[in-house]
Every structure is written in C-alpha cells, then in structure tokens.
Amino acid sequence: MEQGRSVAEMAQQLKLLPRQITALEEGRFDELPGPVFVRGFVRNYARALGLDPEPLLASLEVKPGAEAVTLTPASNAEGEIRIRRSRPWRIVLRYVLPLFVLLLLVTVYFDWFRMPSPTRQETAVLLPPAVEAQDTTTDVLGSHSRSAVAEPFSSPAVSVASEDDSLGETTQSAPASDVSEPEKARAEAPSVVSPENPSEPESVLRFRAEGRSWVEVRDASGTVVFSRILDAGQEASLDGTPPFSLVVGNAAVVRVEFRGEPIEIKEVSKNGVGRIRLP
C-alpha cells in the first residue's frame, strides 16, 4: 500500500500470510505469534520498504522479555508412573532372606543350648599334634591287643623298656625301601614285650563304654590330654601323670578304672555329664 505495493505482494515477499500483513499494519499484534515475532516481522517489513526499522521498533509497545519467561511446560498434575517389573532381588529380600535368618536362629539354638556334646568334641580336633599322636596311640591300644602297648610309644619313658623297639622305631624313619625291616621288628615286638615287661604298669586310666559316650581328660596344668567319643563296647586307656580331671558324657554307661580300680562317678549333672577329679 505504501509505495504502491499490495498486501499480497508484501505477503509474497515476506513469506507471511496476508492476514498477518494487515494485522501488522493495523497494529493488531495479539493476532500475531508473540512479541519476538512481531518485532521480527516489523523489522523485515521496514527493510522491505527501505525504511529504517529502529524508530519503528522503538515505538512498538511490545518489548521482548517483558513477560516472565517460562522454561518448563505447564503442569497441573503430579505423580509418578511406576514401572512394575519383577525384580528377583526383591523376592530374595522379602521372602528368602527372613527364612534363611530363621533357619540360622533355629540352628544356633539347637547347637548352642541343646547339644553341648558336639561342641566339646570340637576341642579334640584342635589338639596339638603331640597330644594327637598320643591319642592315636591309645586308639591303637584300645582296638588291638594289649600286648603291643610299648611298641609305638614315642615317649622315652616307655620306649626305654625295649631296645628292639627303639631299633624298630629308628628303622621306621629310614627310607621306604626298608619297609620289611620294621615290619619284622613289629612282628617280633609283641612276643618280646609282653614277657619282658610284666611289671610295666597297666594304663593309668581305662574307660569302657557300654553305650555311646564321650570322655575328656585334662592333666594338672589344665591341658586336654585325651578327648574321644566312645561307641558302645569300645575301650580306651590313657597313660600320664595324675592328677587328672575327667569329664564324662553319659556317665552312666562308662566304666572308669584308675590304676586298675574302678571309679564311681558321683558328680553327675542332669544331662548325664559326670565330672571327677583323680589324684
């Protein structure tokens, strides 16, 4: 219109719609997208007409940034969409773990308060090697003939008794090729030992179990010198220097002999464990 150009021509040049051009010319800015675009369109329009856009822009009442800037989309609700997924760890946490803890508690209860014997028996396993050796010795004694008493004893006090024995002992430590040698020696040993040492004292302590039971013996210093489980009919014996303190489980079925004399275990607790001290 100004400079004799039609709205259509201007719209064509500015790539705007004719209604936008008329709105712009008539100052109906609310029909246009927004202040930024109004100012942009005015600037483009002025330039297309060869006018200086600045005074026109200054006269515009729409200023950029006049209204508060919003940077996030409008919101009128709140909440979270939960994604339901089977989580194995959650099942473990909710069901398996408490079950496991319960099981653990039950086990501990029975272990600790109801069955004292197994815990005692544990000490036997922890015996130092020397004592262990002695232990196996008595085992051998218990299960085999008593005549072989002296043979495997490594304690000097006993092995003094027979020279053949100590010979057998040393050859035993020789290389494996000489296996037959100690074998022979061992075969000889019983015949030699039993007649030669009639005076040798019987084992200081002997146990004979008539039912399943366990025995633990401590010496004067309090160290465990003997600890075993005895099955029905099993025997065991022990050497050493008294005094001993004995603890016998299921005392009713164990016969104890001290220096060949039977000992009666008087002090018996209600769960059958007997305690006795031998001089």
Partner 1 sequence: MFGFLRSLFSNDLAIDLGTANTLIYMRGRGIVLNEPSVVAIRVDPSSGKKVIQAVGQTAKQMLGKTPGNLQAIRPMKDGVIADFVVTEQMIKQFIKKVHASSLLSPSPRIIICVPCGSTQVERRAIRDAALAAGASKVFLIEEPMAAAIGAGLPVAEATGSMVVDIGGGTTEVGVIALGGMVYSGSIRVGGDKFDDAIVNYIRRNYGMLIGEATAELIKKQVAIAFPSPEVLEVEVKGRNLAEGIPRSFTVSSNEIREAIADPLNQIVSAIKIALEQTPPELGSDIAERGIVLTGGGALLRDLDRLIQEETGLPVIVAEDPLTCVARGCGMALEKVDMLDTLFATE
Residues that bind partner 1 (CB under 8 A): 14-17, 33-37, 39-41, 43-44, 64-65, 69-74
CA distances from 223 to 104, 127, 198, 220, 243 (A): 33, 9, 31, 8, 12
Provide, rounded to whole angstroms, the least separation between the CB of residue 221 and partner 1.
Answer: 59
DSSP designation for 3 = G
Whether the ω angle into residue 243 lies within 30 degrees of 0, i.e. cis, is yes
Sort 148 into a burial class: Cβ within 10 Å, 0-12 / 13-18 / 19+.
middle
Provide, rounded to whole angstroms, the least separation between the CB of residue 7 and partner 1.
Answer: 15
Provide, rounded to whole angstroms, the least separation between the CB of residue 96 and partner 1.
Answer: 36
15 vs 45: CA distance, rounded Å: 11
Please answer whether residues 230 and 247 qualify as being in contact, where contact means their C-beta atoms are separated by less than 8 angstroms.
no
28 vs 48: CA distance, rounded Å: 20
* Measured distance between the N- and C-terminal CA atoms of the chain, rounded to whole angstroms: 135
The one-letter amino acid at 113: F
Provide, rounded to whole angstroms, the least separation between the CB of residue 131 and partner 1.
Answer: 60
Nearer to partner 1, 19 or 184 (CB): 19
Nearer to partner 1, 71 or 81 (CB): 71
46 vs 38: CA distance, rounded Å: 12
Q: Longest Cα pair distance anywhere in the chain, in angstroms?
A: 150
Provide, rounded to whole angstroms, the least separation between the CB of residue 15 and partner 1.
Answer: 5
Nearer to partner 1, 44 or 234 (CB): 44
Nearer to partner 1, 57 or 148 (CB): 57
Structure token pair of residue 193: 């030992």
Provide, rounded to whole angstroms, the least separation between the CB of residue 67 and partner 1.
Answer: 9
Nearer to partner 1, 68 or 99 (CB): 68
Nearer to partner 1, 35 or 190 (CB): 35
Q: Three-class SS string for 98-146?
A: HHHHHHHHHHHHHHHHHCHHHHHHHHHHCCCHHHHHHHHHHHHHHHCCH
Nearer to partner 1, 16 or 246 (CB): 16
Provide, rounded to whole angstroms, the least separation between the CB of residue 116 and partner 1.
Answer: 58
